[in-house]
């Protein structure tokens, strides 16, 4: 299958056998492509003893540690083919990942995102309230992960407003005017988890008359670690938001700038889902062998999208557990899983987490 054909596939329609054969073909082809075009990658594959003949499944393709994109400029395109460099949201003092995109990869990222998210929000665009400040998008040439997230999700918004001002204060008049303008319509809210909690929920809580967001759907992501310090669980986050403003349709997502586009959305049953365009494999901490379902391990992510940089198979610094495959009660095919959090000793990163650290 070509990447165009893959992206025509409904994202939660492939069962284990169909997905595995599609992923194996595509990811092997990406591996060959990056070996041919990225000398550093080729050297690493050589060092890892990679032999395409002995690879039976995409699970056998070596993975790069995600932190490598901080240390090395890894790209599989000539300099003149680069039109966007995305960076991870490292705090000051931490190195950031640099991800080189060409037109094709960037465009496929946006297509994949649309396909995946539409399965949860519907394909109609909605008025969009961004739980962040307008200044996040100021530097156009170099996006932080936060800016890229906002921009990527903007495609689901018709008309848009920012809920926070440039000093991260709740801009209540702007929020109220926006809700008044779109009264009776479904509203799309997007923001990073910690920002939603600290600058939106906590401020709403103080208000005598709270805006009614019962017609809203919130998509949030970027990390829970800072909320752990506030002792907020996923369930409580939802419950409290519902109590504060009626917001009941809430989806977390898991994703990273190194594999932009392939987000893992939380379904109605509270499970994160891998789409047909990417997959998760959990690995044993000691020998990196694949874990059984139900067993916690280090999360590896693979994605069909990266053509301009060798990031199609990455070992994250997160720990998670795969709950099952093809049989989530929500009806979506593919693996569903839970992220436990960051590995011990790993750097703090994640859009909302790093924001909190720098405060």
Partner 1 sequence: MNHSEKYEAAFVSALGISKDDLPGLQYQGVAAWDSIGHMQLIFALEEAFGIMLDTSDIIDLSSFEKGKELLRKYDVEL
For partner 1, the closer of residues 16 and 103 by Cβ is 103
Pairing relationship of beta strands 216-221 and 187-192 according to DSSP bridges: parallel
Site of interaction with partner 1 (CB under 8 A): 83-84, 103, 106-107, 110-111, 114, 118, 123, 125, 137, 140, 151, 154-156, 158-160
Whether 194 and 226 have beta carbons less than 8 Å apart is answered as yes
For partner 1, the closer of residues 190 and 197 by Cβ is 190
Least distance from partner 1 to the Cβ atom of residue 255, Å = 17
d(Cα 43, Cα 36) in Å, to the nearest integer? 11
Whether 129 and 160 have beta carbons less than 8 Å apart is answered as yes
DSSP 90: P
Whether 126 and 159 have beta carbons less than 8 Å apart is answered as no
Least distance from partner 1 to the Cβ atom of residue 26, Å = 20
Least distance from partner 1 to the Cβ atom of residue 124, Å = 8
Least distance from partner 1 to the Cβ atom of residue 148, Å = 9
d(Cα 201, Cα 245) in Å, to the nearest integer? 9
For residue 129, list its beta bridge partners: 161, 189
Which has the closest alpha carbon to 262: 232, 302, 210? 302
Least distance from partner 1 to the Cβ atom of residue 157, Å = 8
Least distance from partner 1 to the Cβ atom of residue 84, Å = 8
DSSP secondary structure string for all residues of 15-64? -HHHHHHHHHHHHHHHHHHHHHH-HHHHHHHHHTT--GGG--SGGGS--E
For partner 1, the closer of residues 49 and 184 by Cβ is 184
For partner 1, the closer of residues 144 and 316 by Cβ is 144
Residues 6+ away with beta carbon under 8 Å from 231: none
Least distance from partner 1 to the Cβ atom of residue 83, Å = 6
d(Cα 286, Cα 192) in Å, to the nearest integer? 33
d(Cα 243, Cα 303) in Å, to the nearest integer? 37
For partner 1, the closer of residues 160 and 234 by Cβ is 160
For partner 1, the closer of residues 140 and 209 by Cβ is 140
Beta strands in 97-211 (DSSP E): 98-101, 126-131, 142-143, 157-162, 187-192
For partner 1, the closer of residues 105 and 282 by Cβ is 105
For partner 1, the closer of residues 70 and 160 by Cβ is 160
d(Cα 64, Cα 47) in Å, to the nearest integer? 12
For partner 1, the closer of residues 94 and 110 by Cβ is 110
Give 3-state DSSP helix, strand, coil % of the chain, rounded to 5.
40, 25, 40
For partner 1, the closer of residues 111 and 234 by Cβ is 111
d(Cα 125, Cα 156) in Å, to the nearest integer? 5
Least distance from partner 1 to the Cβ atom of residue 312, Å = 22
């Amino acid at each position: 299958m070509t990447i165009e054909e893959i992206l025509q596939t409904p994202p939660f329609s492939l069962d284990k056998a169909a997905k595995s054969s599609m992923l194996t073909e595509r990811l092997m082809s990406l591996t060959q492509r990056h070996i041919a075009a990225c000398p550093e990658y080729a050297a690493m594959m050589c060092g890892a003893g990679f032999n395409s003949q002995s690879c039976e499944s995409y699970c056998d393709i070596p993975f790069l540690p995600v932190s490598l994109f901080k240390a090395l400029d890894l790209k599989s395109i000539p300099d003149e083919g680069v039109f966007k460099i995305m960076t991870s949201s490292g705090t000051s003092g931490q190195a950031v990942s640099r991800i080189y995109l060409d037109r094709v990869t960037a465009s496929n990222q946006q297509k994949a995102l649309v396909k995946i998210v539409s399965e949860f929000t519907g394909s109609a665009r909605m008025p969009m309230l961004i739980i962040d400040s307008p200044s996040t998008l100021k530097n156009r040439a170099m996006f932080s992960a936060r800016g890229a997230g906002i921009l990527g999700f903007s495609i689901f918004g018709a008309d848009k407003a920012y809920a926070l001002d440039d000093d991260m204060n709740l801009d209540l008049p702007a929020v109220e005017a926006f809700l008044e303008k779109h009264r009776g319509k479904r509203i799309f809210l997007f923001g990073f988890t910690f920002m939603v909690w600290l600058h939106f929920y906590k401020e709403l809580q103080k208000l005598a008359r709270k805006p009614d967001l019962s017609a809203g759907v919130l998509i949030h992501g970027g990390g829970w670690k800072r909320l752990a310090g506030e002792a907020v669980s996923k369930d409580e986050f939802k419950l409290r938001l519902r109590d504060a403003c009626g917001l009941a349709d809430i989806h977390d997502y898991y994703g990273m700038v190194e594999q932009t586009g392939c987000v893992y959305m939380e379904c109605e049953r509270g499970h994160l889902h891998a789409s047909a365009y990417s997959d998760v494999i959990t690995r044993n901490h000691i020998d990196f062998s694949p874990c059984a379902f139900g067993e916690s391990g280090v999360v590896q992510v693979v994605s069909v999208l990266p053509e301009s940089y060798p990031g199609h198979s990455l070992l994250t610094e997160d720990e998670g557990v795969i709950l099952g495959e093809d049989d989530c009660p929500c009806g979506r095919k593919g693996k569903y899983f839970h992220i436990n959090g960051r590995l011990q000793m790993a750097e703090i990163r994640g859009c909302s987490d790093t924001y909190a650290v720098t405060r």
